[in-house]
Amino acid sequence: MHAYPTASVPRGLRWSVATAAFQIEGSRAADGRGRSIWDDVVDTPGVIKDAAIADPSADSYRRASDDVALLRGLGVDRYRFGISWVRVQPGGTGPGNAAGLDYYSRLVDALLEVGVTPFPTLYHWDLPSDLEEAGGWLARDTASRFADYAALVADRLGDRVHDWYTINEPAMTTLQGYGIGSLAPLKQLLFGALPTVHHQLLAHALVAQALHADGGHRVGIVNNHTPVRPLRDTAEDAMAAVAYDVLHNRVFADPLLSGAYPDLEAFGLPPMPVQDGDLELISAPQDFYGVNFYNPTTVTAAEGDSPLPFDIVPTPDAPCTGFGPEWAIVPEALTELLVGMRDRYGEKLPPVIISENGASFPEPADAARVEDGDRIAYLAGHISAVADAVAAGVDVEEYTVWSLLDNFEWLDGYTQRFGLVHVDFATGERTPKASYDWYRALVSESRA
């Protein structure tokens, strides 16, 4: 009998789990689905660590009923799932694809039938390839195309779906997708990637405006945030930490929550491509603010002729997840982050939703039962960190585990497993791990 850690649980917290369309659906060529930038990446030889092609992955396009049964067994309040832009609108423009919209409509109905609130993410990194060829998120027009696509989804699902995430982790799209090329579309533009920040925030704002005009909808963005710590107690490392904090955190949050970008020119960077009225639209009151949190970030001043003013280094004296030393396990850093946001933005910070939190650890690929005590300890520590933030006065509505299922983990293919449920990628068979049972018990006990 395993003795797993317990978590301090804030009263009234909602519980959720999350997935993303490209990571779990498979069926990449089915029913008129178009091509996204991640299709382009996985079809490029030598890019994905284990040569995985994201198909069938967890095969959720054909096995959605299995996923709904798992959600029902967990007893969660809500399910954060991704809607694939290229299933709904294959080329990124034009009419909707009936088969794709039908799939998501059936999923919504199935969730409602078992008492789980559907909470879709409209964009989780699967930009249509045709739009990338036209400039991608570097082009302002992509924001308008995103609003058109979102209108197709809302027209079909909006009678039953009332809570929406617009864009997932614009920071990762900018910094990794367009900045250093470690995510699709594999661009290496460094600071030339910065226009993608504004165009993603504008896209969010256009969709939020339209959904609010339709009435009865709550809309929010999901940002990846991290508290930034200097490695050494030096002026150089302190400045490196400030620079990284601006680029990873504040350039994405400040326009939404304070109506202005940080002073980028102070760091020798060009201003954002803001047009009249943009910031008023972007800074309209947010219904909630989604925070994805995995780890703090430790930086030191870059040496030599580095094009960046910082280097990211391991956090000293911290254990790490399966991703290695830069993915440090420091639960109290989540409390630090949430309290820091409350102090910075004050009343302009809306209720917070922890929209992703979880960890990958080495696991056997064919285990009949995964006793993932390390994941349970990670989750327990971070849920307790949320409780500490709530006790300090931060309004947190919901906590979301990443992920319900083992999935295709981007450039790492199937080598990293985040799921509460083990997936055999050859057969699609789902086997709940110990963490699934632990989370189910926690959800149940929190309502007692």
Q: Report pLDDT digits (tens) over 113-141.
A: 999 999 999 999 999 999 999 999 999 99
Q: Which helix (H) or strand (E) holds 224?
A: strand 218-224
In which residue are the tokens 């995985």 written?
A: 52
Rounded to the nearest 5 percent, the helix, strand and coil shares of the chain are 40, 15, 45
Rounded CA gap, 442 and 351, in Å? 22
| Helices 251-258, 195-214: inter-axial angle, 10-degree rounding | 40
**Structure-block tokens of residue 138:** 């570097």
Q: Is 383 a member of any domain?
A: yes
- Burial category of 104 from C-beta neighbours within 10 Å (exposed 0-12, middle 13-18, buried 19 and up): buried
Question: Closest by alpha carbon to 117, among 153, 76, 83?
Answer: 76
List the domain range (segments joined by +) for residue 145.
14-446
CATH at 349: 3.20.20.80
| Residue 27 DSSP label | -
Tell me the catalytic residues. Answer: 356
Provide the domain count of the chain.
1
Q: Is 191 a member of any domain?
A: yes
Q: Is 3 a member of any domain?
A: no
pTM assigned to the model: 0.97
Q: Is 9 a member of any domain?
A: no
pLDDT of the chain, 448 residues: tens digit per residue: 467 888 989 889 999 999 999 999 999 999 999 999 999 999 999 999 999 999 999 999 999 999 999 999 999 999 999 999 999 999 999 999 999 999 999 999 999 999 999 999 999 999 999 999 999 999 999 999 999 999 999 999 999 999 999 999 999 999 999 999 999 999 999 999 999 999 999 999 999 999 999 989 999 999 999 999 999 999 999 999 999 999 999 999 999 999 999 999 998 898 999 999 999 999 999 999 999 999 999 999 998 888 999 999 999 999 999 999 989 999 999 999 999 999 999 999 999 999 999 999 999 877 778 999 999 999 999 999 999 999 999 999 999 999 999 999 999 999 999 999 999 999 999 999 999 999 999 999 998 8
Q: Is 300 a member of any domain?
A: yes
Q: Is 406 a member of any domain?
A: yes
pLDDT at 1: 47
Q: Is 21 a member of any domain?
A: yes
**Structure-block tokens of residue 23:** 């990571």
Q: Is 2 a member of any domain?
A: no
In which residue are the tokens 């909470």 written?
A: 119
Q: In this structure, what are the phi and psi dihedrals at residue 425, rounded to the nearest 5 degrees? A: -75, -10
* Count of Cβ atoms closer than 10 Å to residue 71 Cβ: 21
